[in-house]
Structure 1
Amino acid sequence: MDLAFLHPLYEQSGPWASAYVDTSRQTENTPHERHLTAAALARELSAQGADEATCRAVESAVEDLRHSPEPHGRALFARGGQVVLDPPLAKAPQGSWAEWAPLPRVTPLLDLADQEPVCVVAYVDRRGADFELRGALGSRKAGSVTGRQWPMHRTSTTDWSERHFQLKVENTWEHNAAEIADALTVCQEETRADLLILVGDDRERRSVHDRLPQRLHDRVVELTHGTGSRLLDEEVEQARAEHVRRRTEAELERFLAARAPDAEGQAGAVEGVPALVEAAREHRIDELLIRTDGPDAHREVWIGEDPDQVAVRRTELKALGEQNSWAARADDALVRSAVATDATALAVPAAAEEAPVGGLGALLRWK
């Protein structure tokens, strides 16, 4: 997961109120139920020591969801009487809950926000293509391309002039396929899409696929159901889920292989809180691997005001010159460090046969 959207949470110091609101139930009593949920979460935060202004801000934000049609839920992160970030969720949390802590409680988003993969669906025909950007939270138009409009149809005659006409048709198709591939490449670069899905007739899909840059070929999926098919949306979601599964498996394999030291004695991956804390302080985390139910995820570490001020013991921070320190969850502290250094994060499924020991690991970068 690209963590860049979390930057606003680390531009201000804590403590923070974090709330996860389940909006998956829709009944005639929903507005009243949301009103009760808003009051309950505010009381919960107040009991944990949150200031009154922040409790009111969270309560008001949940009240605003009384008539929301959102099918899953929303996360809310607030401090100083303001909600700073409120991303919608792609999966419903297990009930609504709130927490007051030195750091925002962000790691549940790895399982619930499901921001990846973003994909571009290209609806291809002989005349051009329409592009649609799809993610777990919806879809929007992402542009279009129109190729040459004439000539577009073959004939069946063997007359020389007609054969010449057919060559022009072939040239038109090839020209349009090339233009679509070029436009789709630009669209991918602008949207940073993880997946490109081609929809259309077999020949048209294949012509565009063949003209895409080689670096994009492993991101392309061709679907058999065309525009308007009731099975198309199902196929798109299956393609996205399969892409996530393959990517997770590949990253886990890369992590497992990188744990072994190389010829110079350097490992490309670490696991366990002490090693991860050291990597975070040295800005060497490239991708965090987190199994949210792992025992190390809620292990206590100590943090200072800056993202690289993290330690297993409080005395370590004092030795580094940090005067102020707070206890925090290991997973949230490491995510803060990852955001500050533009690292990514990967949610490791609970069912994964091999995972980082304790549930926390990282692939490293070397300066």
Structure 2
Amino acid sequence: MRISLLQPVIDRPGPWASVYADIAHSTEDAAKQQELTASATTAQLFALGADEATCGAVHEALLLRHEGESGEHSGRVLFAAHGEVVLDTPLPGPPATPFAAWGPVPRVTPFLAAVGDDPVCLVVRLDRAGADFAVLGERGTEDAGQVSGADWPLHRTASGDWSEGHFRAKVENTWEHNAGEIADAVRKAFEECGAEAVVLIGDARERHLVHDKLPEPLRALTYESEHGGRAPGAESALVDRDIAQVRAVQEREHIAQVADRFRTGAGPGGKSAPHAAAGIPALVEAAREHRIDTLLVSPHGSDIARQLWVGSEADQLGVRGTELQYLGEPRPAAARADDALVRSAAASGADIVVVRDPERAPSGGLGALLRWTDADTADGAHH
């Protein structure tokens, strides 16, 4: 999961107001409902100890109408601190449980569970003359440039004398040449944008030509949509559905891969156990030492709501409050284990994966793949 969207929230000290709101739209009294939601949420935050400035900022944000929100209800999540709403972003649907929380770390875990793994996908709309690139991911759709091939000759003619045959051969060569140019540009764009999959959109012949010219590892991550074309708006609903299916497959495969590595304890580059950590004490230690490569979180684990102690810095966390004094934090505060570990892991650049399947999830709902272990360090010192 890409958590760059959450970076402003992760990097800033709290305390934090975290709000998961269900906003009514198309009902007759939608504005009134929105006002009631804003007032009730603000009152709840104030009762939990939030300062007036932060309550006011949340109240104002909840009253705003947002463009493009449709359906009867939509979900929004807000994170606010020190009188400022730092992040206000839509959820894929209404929150499972609307709530407001006030605490030393933001309640980001329900947000991660709602948005899922959100794999980044490179969408390539192509024809014989070139291709347009777009990157689909956590920030919606972003233009990623285009490539143009040779533009002459591109069209076959119908008659059959020698010169026409010669011309047709030239057309074939131009198509081949352009497919190679497009494939090379796809490879570069894929590497630059950090995508996990490619979707080719266009006529079958061009799609196949480009697909065949991609390097082998990239070909395995490239899918073809039978709908749409390079022209904007061509069968867009069907194309959107195809892209959504590709992203869903990528998400499932990524989660399964991470869960399997966790179960076998495999480390980076396939090194064997013990490159996995389980249990709160081991995870806290790994987080403090910035050793977490990927944090696994299950929304239903028994450990996720356990109490940890945290300081203002992301790597200041402990099982007991007294540990924080050794870490230079004179006023430790209590926080949920999932949120404390997510904040710490995200701050050190770790990936975070939400594992919904209880069969694959770590015992207790929290686990980690590690960048290295103490044993690795000892081996390094020994050599």
* Aligned equivalents of 1:233, 1:99: Cα separation in 2: 35
Question: Which deviates more, 161-170 or 30-39?
Answer: 161-170
What letter matches 2:337 in structure 1?
A
- Indicate the residue corresponding to 1:198 in structure 2: 200
What letter matches 1:145 in structure 2?
V
Q: Does residue 338 of structure 2 align to residue 331 of structure 1?
A: yes
Alpha-carbon shift at residue 155 of structure 1 (Å): 4.7
Tell me, yes or no, if the aligned pair for 2:266 and 2:273 is still in contact at 8 Å: no
Change (3 A) 1:156 1:12: closer
Question: Which deviates more, 81-90 or 151-160?
Answer: 151-160
Tell me, yes or no, if the aligned pair for 1:116 and 1:194 is still in contact at 8 Å: no
Q: For structure 2, list consecutive stretches of 5 or more residues without a partner in the other structure.
A: 378-383
* Aligned equivalents of 1:252, 1:154: Cα separation in 2: 52
Alpha-carbon shift at residue 247 of structure 1 (Å): 1.5
Alpha-carbon shift at residue 164 of structure 1 (Å): 2.4
- Indicate the residue corresponding to 1:78 in structure 2: 80
Partner SS state of residue 250, structure 2? helix
Q: What is the alpha-carbon root mean square deviation over aligned residues? A: 2.5
Q: Does residue 43 of structure 2 align to residue 63 of structure 1?
A: no
Pairs within 5 Å for 1:271-286: 271-286=278-293
Q: Does residue 322 of structure 2 align to residue 315 of structure 1?
A: yes
* Aligned equivalents of 1:23, 1:185: Cα separation in 2: 42
Question: Which deviates more, 320-329 or 293-302?
Answer: 320-329
Tell me, yes or no, if the aligned pair for 1:258 and 1:363 is still in contact at 8 Å: yes
* Aligned equivalents of 2:209, 2:31: Cα separation in 1: 52
* Aligned equivalents of 1:119, 1:302: Cα separation in 2: 38
* Aligned equivalents of 1:12, 1:344: Cα separation in 2: 19
Alpha-carbon shift at residue 235 of structure 1 (Å): 1.7
Alpha-carbon shift at residue 269 of structure 1 (Å): 0.9
Partner SS state of residue 243, structure 1? helix
- Indicate the residue corresponding to 1:354 in structure 2: 360
Q: Does residue 2 of structure 2 align to residue 2 of structure 1?
A: yes
Tell me, yes or no, if the aligned pair for 1:123 and 1:200 is still in contact at 8 Å: yes
Pairs within 5 Å for 1:86-97: 86-97=88-99
* Aligned equivalents of 1:244, 1:61: Cα separation in 2: 32
> For each residue in 1:92-132, what CA deviation from the matched residue of structure 2 results, as whole angstroms up to 9, or x when unmatched?
20253211011111111112234611212211211112223
- Indicate the residue corresponding to 2:371 in structure 1: 365
Could you tell me which of 208, 213, 216 is aligned with 1:214? Answer: 216
Change (3 A) 1:190 1:91: farther
Tell me, yes or no, if the aligned pair for 1:91 and 1:113 is still in contact at 8 Å: no
Alpha-carbon shift at residue 320 of structure 1 (Å): 4.1
Partner SS state of residue 86, structure 1? strand
Alpha-carbon shift at residue 150 of structure 1 (Å): 1.5
Question: Which deviates more, 191-200 or 214-223?
Answer: 214-223
Q: Does residue 103 of structure 2 align to residue 101 of structure 1?
A: yes
* Aligned equivalents of 2:112, 2:10: Cα separation in 1: 17
* Aligned equivalents of 1:139, 1:319: Cα separation in 2: 46
Q: For structure 1, list consecutive stretches of 5 or more residues without a partner in the other structure.
A: none
> For each residue in 1:218-256, what CA deviation from the matched residue of structure 2 results, as whole angstroms up to 9, or x when unmatched?
321112223323422222211211221121112211211
- Indicate the residue corresponding to 1:153 in structure 2: 155
Tell me, yes or no, if the aligned pair for 1:18 and 1:100 is still in contact at 8 Å: yes
- Indicate the residue corresponding to 2:37 in structure 1: 37
- Indicate the residue corresponding to 1:292 in structure 2: 299
Change (3 A) 1:26 1:120: farther
Tell me, yes or no, if the aligned pair for 2:20 and 2:75 is still in contact at 8 Å: yes
Partner SS state of residue 87, structure 1? strand
Partner SS state of residue 220, structure 2? helix
Change (3 A) 1:27 1:139: farther
Q: Does residue 258 of structure 2 align to residue 251 of structure 1?
A: yes
Alpha-carbon shift at residue 323 of structure 1 (Å): 2.3
Identity of aligned residues (%): 49
* Aligned equivalents of 1:339, 1:263: Cα separation in 2: 23
Tell me, yes or no, if the aligned pair for 1:284 and 1:364 is still in contact at 8 Å: yes
- Indicate the residue corresponding to 1:50 in structure 2: 50
* Aligned equivalents of 2:327, 2:157: Cα separation in 1: 80
Change (3 A) 1:249 1:25: farther
Alpha-carbon shift at residue 8 of structure 1 (Å): 1.6
Alpha-carbon shift at residue 33 of structure 1 (Å): 0.7
> For each residue in 1:147-189, what CA deviation from the matched residue of structure 2 results, as whole angstroms up to 9, or x when unmatched?
2221123356664433322221121111111221222233323
Could you tell me which of 125, 136, 151 is aligned with 1:123? Answer: 125
Q: Does residue 13 of structure 2 align to residue 13 of structure 1?
A: yes
Partner SS state of residue 76, structure 2? strand
- Indicate the residue corresponding to 1:306 in structure 2: 313
Tell me, yes or no, if the aligned pair for 1:302 and 1:327 is still in contact at 8 Å: yes
Question: Which deviates more, 265-274 or 132-141?
Answer: 132-141
* Aligned equivalents of 1:68, 1:98: Cα separation in 2: 24
* Aligned equivalents of 1:37, 1:99: Cα separation in 2: 15
